[in-house]
Structure 1
Amino acid sequence: MIMYLLMGLTAAVVSYGATWGARVVGNRLELHMPIRSRDMHSTPVSRLGGVAIFLGVLVALIVASQSFFVKDIYRHNFSPWGVLAGATLIVLVGVADDLLDIRWWVKLIGQSAAALVVAIWGVRMTIVPWVPEPIFLENEMIRIVLTAGLIVTTMNAFNFIDGLDGLAAGVAIIGGTAFFFTAYWVHRNAVLLDYSDLATLLMAVVVGSCIGFLPHNWFPSKIFMGDSGAMLIGLLFAAAGIVSTGQITSGLYDRANGISTVIPILLPFAVLFLPLLDLGLAVVRRTARGRSPWSADRGHLHHKLLDIGYSHRTAVILMYLWTAVLSFGGLAFAVFPWQPVLAADIFATLLMGLVTAWPYLRRGSDEPVA
């Protein structure tokens, strides 16, 4: 645990300092996009925050390769470097989009290229979790295509949710922390000669980098992570999820209260539920209007919270709470018997639903009766 926390701290310190530098460079060179109608800010803000987050991840992963315990992850294993190569490519694509506003299909090509780099040289899906038995993927081409598709989907999900100050970074911190504890817990409770784990390390460094970035990004934001940061976080989350999914048959999840095949499915989707829901709703909404699924609009979940009366900060905190309920609710399945966990999760979800809809319900109750 200590080494993972040290790697997370390294990422946080580097990211915090690098964000200062990105703010100075971005403001002096005016490296920001014109304000758009859907934007929630009224003054130009630098969008180079993703570069700072990436530097935190980069330095932490390089330090980890030479550090006690976690360096075992790199032994005879090119996967960490493959993930880092894909991360480097997606940050370059994101910076180009943040500064030049490239066409959606050009960005999609870039996302696909980065995802393929990870799928070919980094991590790859070998198993599709299913109940009662997982499905093994024998064909290498199918493995690569499914891996790349999952990574692209997750990148866009995080990119879509990045619409309010501090939202994407905070969601990544909360969800990544739950993911980190789950990956760490199953390894410490299994009979292994080597407890080091790539998924745990990736979550430690991405959470650390987002912690270092968030003070600069909290409302009112002084810098944005941009597409480069949001897509980077999505890529790292997807890579960690793929690593965890591939460990289903290793015996690591056999202690998870008899639901070994469910935990790898549940937690990544619980952590990413809000971004994936927002992505799905956006695709349906835009397609129904005859527009490209990648065209921007002001119809995301966080926009809806603002529309029903929540302030900027309150809407972000509400999204944080939803993420905590979903992600730590998923984590609880790995630690406690599933029956009380399911009951507690249902209660928490209903309570959060009531809290979320309260301004709308109160407005309806205030209307005079005819």
Structure 2
Amino acid sequence: MIMYLSMMLTAAIVSYGATWGARLIGDRLELFAPIRSRDMHSSPVSRLGGLGIFAGVLVALAVASQSFFVKDIFRNNGAPWGVLAGAAVIVLVGVADDLLDLRWWVKLIGQAFAALVVAVWGVRMTIIPFIPEPIRFDSDPVNIVLTTGLIVVTMNAFNFIDGLDGLAAGVAVIGGSAFFLTAYWVHRNAPILDRSDLATLLTAVLVGSCLGFLPHNWFPSKIFMGDSGAMLIGLLMASAGVVSTGQITSGLYDRVNGIPTIIPILLPFAVLFLPLLDLCLAVVRRTAVGRSPWSADRGHLHHKLMDIGYSHRTAVMLLYLWAAVLSFGGLAFAVYPWQVVLAIMVAATLVMGLVTAWPYLSRRGENTGVGQASE
């Protein structure tokens, strides 16, 4: 645990300093995000923050490759470097989009290429969790296509929720922390000699980098992560999920409580539920009116929360709570009996649903009361 936390701290320190540098460069060169009708900011803000997050990831992984215990992850294993190479590609694509506003199909090609780099030289999805038995794919082309598709979807999901100050980074910290604790706990209690794990390292580095970036991005934001940061988070989160999914038949998850067969896939989906939900709703909403799924609008979850009466900060905190309930609920399935966890999750979801809708319900009640009184 100490070495993973050391890498997390390293990533946080580097990310904080590098984001400060990115702020200075962006402000001096006036590389500001345009102010559009759907945006929540009203003053010029640079969106080079993804460079700061990537710097934290890069330095932390480089240090990890030479550090006690975690360096075993890199021994005769090119996967960490493949993930890092894919991360470098997607950051370049994201910076180009942030500065030049690439067409959606050009950005999609860049996303697919970055994901392909990870799938070819990094990690691959070889198993899809299923009950009673997981489905295994022995074909390299199929594995590469599945991995590429998953990473592209996850990158776009995180990109879609990056609409309020601190939202995407905070959700990544919360979800990544739950993912980190689960991966670490499973390996810590496994009957194996080498307990180092790439998924645990990736999530530790991701959480640290986002923590270092978050003080710069908290409302009112002094810098945005941009597409480069949001897509980088999605790529790292998806890569960690692929690593965990591939461990289903290793016997590691046979020792956990609850429903071990689907824990490796349950947790990533729990962590990514909000981004994926926002992505799905956006695709349905836009295609229903004949627009491209990639066209921007002001209909995301965070927009809806502010429309019903939440302030900027309150909307972010509410989405943090949703992320915590879902992510740590997924973690609880690995530790406690699933019946208990499921009951608590249902109750927590109902309470959170009521809290989320309260401004709308209270306003509707007031309007109903006014209507009845006027009659």
Q: Do they superpose with TM above 0.5?
A: yes
Query: Distance in 1 between the 2:188 and 2:283 partners?
Result: 40
Partner of 2:109: 109
SS in 1 for 2:295: coil
Partner of 2:231: 231
Q: Which runs of 5+ in 1 are unaligned?
A: none
Q: 1:1-370 alignment to 2 at 5 Å?
A: 1-367=1-367, 368=370, 369=372, 370=375
Query: Distance in 2 between the 1:219 and 1:101 partners?
Result: 24
Paired residues of 1:256 and 1:263 also in contact (CA < 8 A): no
Aligned-partner residue type, residue 248 of structure 1: I
Query: Distance in 1 between the 2:152 and 2:339 partners?
Result: 34
Paired residues of 2:258 and 2:335 also in contact (CA < 8 A): no
User: For 1:133-187, what per-residue CA distance to the aligned partner results, in whole angstroms no more than 9, with x for missing partners?
Assistant: 0000011110000000000000000000000000000000000000000000000
- CA-CA distance at 1:289 after TM superposition: 0.9
Query: Distance in 2 between the 1:35 and 1:307 partners?
Result: 19
Query: Distance in 2 between the 1:152 and 1:204 partners?
Result: 22
User: Which aligned segments of 4 or more residues in structure 1 are displaced greater than 4 angstroms?
Assistant: none
Aligned-partner residue type, residue 276 of structure 2: L
Query: Distance in 1 between the 2:193 and 2:183 partners?
Result: 16
- CA-CA distance at 1:258 after TM superposition: 4.9
User: For 1:279-322, what per-residue CA distance to the aligned partner results, in whole angstroms no more than 9, with x for missing partners?
Assistant: 00000000011111000000000000000000000000000000
Query: Distance in 2 between the 1:94 and 1:138 partners?
Result: 33
Q: TM-score, normalised by structure 1?
A: 0.99
* RMSD, matched Cα: 0.6
Query: Distance in 2 between the 1:256 and 1:131 partners?
Result: 17
Query: Distance in 1 between the 2:285 and 2:25 partners?
Result: 37
- CA-CA distance at 1:34 after TM superposition: 2.1
Aligned-partner residue type, residue 126 of structure 2: T
User: For 1:223-272, what per-residue CA distance to the aligned partner results, in whole angstroms no more than 9, with x for missing partners?
Assistant: 00000000000000000000000000111111222522121121000000
- CA-CA distance at 1:37 after TM superposition: 1.2
Q: Which runs of 5+ in 2 are unaligned?
A: none
Query: Distance in 1 between the 2:295 and 2:326 partners?
Result: 28
Identity over aligned residues, as a percent? Answer: 81
Aligned-partner residue type, residue 315 of structure 2: A
Q: TM-score, normalised by structure 2?
A: 0.98
Query: Distance in 1 between the 2:266 and 2:218 partners?
Result: 30
Query: Distance in 2 between the 1:108 and 1:277 partners?
Result: 20
Query: Distance in 2 between the 1:329 and 1:37 partners?
Result: 36
Query: Distance in 2 between the 1:324 and 1:354 partners?
Result: 16
Paired residues of 2:13 and 2:56 also in contact (CA < 8 A): yes
Tell which deviates more after alignment, 331-340 or 31-40.
Answer: 31-40
